[in-house]
Amino acid sequence: MKYLPVNPDIFIQNRKRFAERMEKQSIAIFNSNDELPTNGDAIYPFRQNADLYWLTGIEQEDSMLILFPDNPDPKYREVLVLVRPNELKEKWDGYRLRVNEARAISGIHTIVWLDSLEGLLQPWIHLAANIYLNSNENDRKANLVPVRDYRYAAMMKERYPLHQYKRSAPILKELRAIKSALEVDVMQKAIDITDNTFRRLLSFIRPGVMEYEIEAEIFHSFLSQRATGPAYGSIIASGDRARILHYISNNQECREGELLLMDFGAEYGRYCADLTRTVPVSGKFTRRQKTVYNACLHLHKYAASILKPGISIIDYTEKVGDEATVVFQKIGLLKKSDIKNEDPDNRAYRKYLYHGISHHLGIDVHDLGTRTEPIKAGMVFTVEPGIYIEEEKMGIRIENNFWITRNGNKDLMKNIPITVEEIEACMKR
């Protein structure tokens, strides 16, 4: 790993929170992700299962976690399973964790090797009445590949058909949505790296620069600050391309007079930052660009003002839509007749703001959490309204990350330049 060691208390607390939600006489088993092939004998860079990482801090392949709070032998109530270090494999693929290193990362005392697990696991299963197994229940998932979690579940049900099987995912969805102060400390590091990178870009951007050159500057800046890399594919979209929400081609020239939308964030300690800023390629906003930008910034501040415990994301989005309707009329995008005749299921403002306003943020950039239930203290959200005007070939989005507090929220990106005046001043320098 490139980042400095993360406080193991994060993972100790996370396991405790999960174990407290398990039914009596239950065992929970978590698997690492597969190593996936690309072509020939090559594989994709390994990325750990987010749930396993949230519970252990371990990023190594072929790892497992076993939680059995009611195990009669206290030694085996928390067990981390690792692949045994192999001299030949290490010559080809690199160093693998030793016991003392895994203990320091995870806070788990009992470490067993994967090749010796079988003789231990079966007696534990016989002592348990319920087996918790994990699966990817992210609502955005569209993956039909039978990955390890599903293969493992099928194998366990065939081998132990008379046990009661429970889903870990609903518990994790609720727990992972609530970030501890220790987790937010790691997220803040990712955000600070992103802040430094954005300020660096403001002195780099100029007419004639290519979008991929800006992306390269981002990657270089992230790695030089010990980030793992980007938390997601950076969006570097100049001119009309800024209206493409997930534009990642990043292969065109940034031209004089255009706005440049940049949506990027660092990953540090597996926690994500997610920033969007829109800046003038020439260093100065035109009058119209300034008007639309300030309208978007008004929506951003309004959304942040109502993002607090008790409101649901659905109701929150509807309120931001009401405010957008008023703002879009003021800047000439909507007429009274558009609003009067709008379809309640496809409101008039949606022509110019056609995405959600916020999503959960954490180990995954679109992290686990609910949309329908009331927001709770401890959750972390993006706030990212946008205005996209096809006839003006303009797209503007402004995004910060907020930690929900008991009575409101804390802007984790409050130090990053956001106003027209701040951005222009930084680009001038």
In a domain, 240, yes or no: yes
Residue 333 and residue 274 in one domain: yes
| In a shared domain, residues 96 and 162 | yes
Instruction: Tell whether 148 and 191 lie within a shared domain.
Output: no
Are 406 and 348 members of one domain?
yes
- Statement: residue 193 has pLDDT above 90: yes
Runs of H (alpha helix) within 160-312: 169-177, 181-202, 211-224, 287-306
Q: Residues 281-287: what's their mean pLDDT?
A: 98
CATH number at residue 101: 3.40.350.10
Residues 246 and 387 in one domain: yes
Residue 25 lies in a domain: yes
Cα 176 to Cα 360: distance, rounded to the nearest angstrom? 10
| Pair (200, 150) in one structural domain | no
The domain boundary, picked from 120, 151, 176, lies at 176
Look at residues 125, 154, 176 and tell me which one is the last residue of a structural domain: 176
Residues 31 and 106 both lie in one domain: yes
Q: Indicate whether 144 pLDDT > 90.
A: no
At 3-16, the pLDDT tens digits run 999 999 999 999 99
How far apart, in Å, are the Cα atoms of 307 and each of 26, 237, 327, 374? 37, 28, 19, 11
250 and 373 within one domain: yes
Flag whether 3 is in a domain: no
Q: Is the CB of residue 104 less than 8 Å from the CB of residue 8?
A: yes
- Looking at the fold, whether 342 and 194 belong to one and the same domain comes out as yes
**In the beta sheet, which residues pair with residue 410?**
403
Contact 183, 268 (CB under 8 A): no
Is pTM beyond 0.85? Reply is yes
Instruction: Give pLDDT, residue 306.
Output: 98
The reply to whether 136 falls in a domain is: yes
pLDDT of residue 142: 66
Decide if 4 is inside a domain: no
Per residue in 229-274, pLDDT (tens digit) is 999 999 999 999 999 999 999 999 999 999 999 999 999 999 999 9
Among the candidates 137, 153, 176, a domain finishes at 176
1 falls within a domain? no
Choose among 383, 394, 415, 414: nearest CA to 291: 394
Neighbours of 7 (CB within 10 A): 15
Q: What is the CATH number of the domain that holds 387?
A: 3.90.230.10
Residue 159 class from Cβ within 10 Å (0-12 exposed, 13-18 middle, 19+ buried)? Answer: exposed
> Does residue 310 sit in the same domain as residue 350?
yes
Residue range 201-220: mean pLDDT, rounded: 98
Q: What is the pLDDT of residue 375?
A: 97
Structural domain includes residue 27: yes
Q: Residues 249, 209: one domain?
A: yes
- What pLDDT, on the 0 to 100 scale, is given for residue 379? 98
Are 410 and 357 found together in one domain? yes
Provide the 3-class DSSP secondary structure of residue 401: strand
Question: Mean pLDDT for the chain?
Answer: 96
Range of the domain at 66: 9-176
Tell me, what's the pLDDT at 1?
A: 84
Domain-located, residue 98: yes
Nearest-angstrom CA–CA distance, 195 and 133: 39
Q: Is 139 left (phi over 0), alpha (psi -120 to 50) or beta?
A: alpha
Q: What mean pLDDT is predicted for residues 271-292? A: 98
- 181-202 vs 9-21: helix crossing angle, rounded to 10: 130
Number of domains the chain is built from: 2
pLDDT at 185: 98
